[in-house]
Amino acid sequence: MILPVVLAGGSGTRLWPLSRTHYPKQLLKLFGDATMLQQTLQRLEGLEGLGDPLVVCNEEHRFMVAEQLQEIGQHQATILLEPVGRNTAPALALAALHACELEDDPKLLVLAADHIIRDVQAFRSAVQVALVSAAKGKLVTFGIRPTCPETGYGYIKTSEQPDVEGAHQVEQFVEKPDLATAERYLEQGGFYWNSGMFVFRAQPFLDELRRYSPQVVEAVEAAYREAVKDMDFVRTSAEAFARAPEISVDYAVMEQSDNVVCVPMDAGWSDVGSWQSYWELSEKDERGNSLVGDVFDFGSRDTLVYSRDKLVATLGVDNLMVVSTPDAVLVADKNAAQDVKRIISLLRERGRSEHLQHREVYRPWGCYDSVDQGTRYQVKRIRVKPGASLSSQMHHHRAEHWVVVKGTAKVEKGDETLLLSENESTFIPLGTRHRLSNPGKIPLELIEVQSGAYLGEDDIVRFDDHYGRA
């Protein structure tokens, strides 16, 4: 059996302001009608011998990941939760340990949840080649044939001739080079972009990881011994998992092991690691502009403009990227695409929240959008999925007024229960225990007006919650 392992714990900071810590790029629909996570699993269709996927993600994203898997029919997928981010080596160790409980030493096809692959057939062909080497105990990585002297990727140096299975022995992993070095790699040949995708049997991987990074295996084994099934998720011990070193699988084992081979792949791959990459992958007009959303342009060249929430107009600009979201706008030269992370650092230093979440915040029951706020008031647009309920809760510092604009709301308020339809409203006094539910078949939408001395999200006392939140 081949078990797909999808690593979905990244944050995608260089695609800010669209990608945020609490809603990163793998959960976004950047290209087409499916998210990047969904596309990662959909491109596996047609591979023989596949088992149900294992998806590794962090606690914050668990409900969004579960919902996206349900949307594409992956009802039997296992979601392994990282209680704290420790990079890819501990995440993969967790997946390998769980896989060994499902089957005796299965093959693992390890994929990142936030990559684009244009030629799906070429991808599947490379996987079939890699499986032959993996069956013999090799740790197989995929090397992307470089198309330009890219400085944003690490490289893999391989032997010139492949073995009989079509894999090349790995001679060296190389850090991201400067431009002159990347140009030399391209001219010399034998160098591939490091894709971060792998195929190997679970036990040989764990054996090599134990040999070169024993602290990773020891910590994750201790965490997994205390694992519990919680709804759709497998939870491990946070205390034990936090003892694992924060280290990538490349540093932990791949760069040290002499049992690693590389299968070349030429499949239109990109990690969409920046807005420059997004522009390169996007459809463009005759002047090289990529215009996404509600955009007007006059006379610009080689420019990316992305806006789905408001009109953005550009006039006679060159080589810019303009990205608009409801709460932030990025304007930058495309050549500075790799430096967007400097903005994230500044936001953190100043204690701001725009790097963490959007104005629209997702919850397991739906989402809310903070439309307006001021001194002692806040206005939200709330959307509740059919059949979903918020927790039974109360607030010490605020009262709430709800107005239904679409669907039907079931409101439990103190000792009474109300059914409200469109254009009906109710008032929740400060300190009153209450719960909002959607008993209908269509999404419930309402406007909430909060008023009080303190309106923070931590002023919630939960009495009962269907989603296991404290």
DSSP state of 335: G
Q: What is the pLDDT of residue 130?
A: 95
Q: Which domains occur in the chain, in start order?
A: 2-270 (3.90.550.10), 275-349 (no CATH), 360-464 (2.60.120.10)
| Distance, C-alpha 215 to centroid of its chain | 26
Q: Is the pLDDT of residue 303 over 90?
A: yes
Q: What is the pLDDT of residue 169?
A: 92
Q: How many CB atoms lie within 10 A of CB 280?
A: 15
The pTM assigned to this predicted structure is 0.90
Mean pLDDT of the chain: 93
Counting every residue written for the chain, the total comes to 470
Residues 177-188 have a mean pLDDT of 89
Question: Which range has the top average pLDDT, 141-150, 182-191, 435-444?
Answer: 435-444
Residues 208-236 have a mean pLDDT of 93
The answer to whether 322 touches 312, Cβ cutoff 8 Å, is yes
Q: What is the pLDDT of residues 127-142, one digit of tens each?
A: 999 999 999 999 999 9
27: helix, strand or coil: helix
| pLDDT level of residue 11 (50, 70, 90 thresholds) | confident
Q: What is the pLDDT of residue 234?
A: 95
Terminal Cα-to-Cα distance of the chain (whole angstroms): 38
Q: What is the pLDDT of residue 13?
A: 85
The answer to whether 426 touches 411, Cβ cutoff 8 Å, is yes
Q: What is the pLDDT of residues 402-422, one digit of tens each?
A: 999 999 999 999 999 999 999
Q: Is the pLDDT of residue 2 over 90?
A: yes
CA distances from 312 to 211, 267, 294, 331 (A): 55, 34, 6, 12
Q: What is the pLDDT of residue 469?
A: 66
Q: What are phi and psi of 247, to 5 degrees?
A: -150, 145
| pLDDT level of residue 39 (50, 70, 90 thresholds) | very high
Q: Is the pLDDT of residue 470 over 80?
A: no
The answer to whether 219 touches 61, Cβ cutoff 8 Å, is no
| pLDDT level of residue 160 (50, 70, 90 thresholds) | confident
Residues 240-253 have a mean pLDDT of 95
The continuous run of DSSP H or E covering 184 comes out as helix 179-188
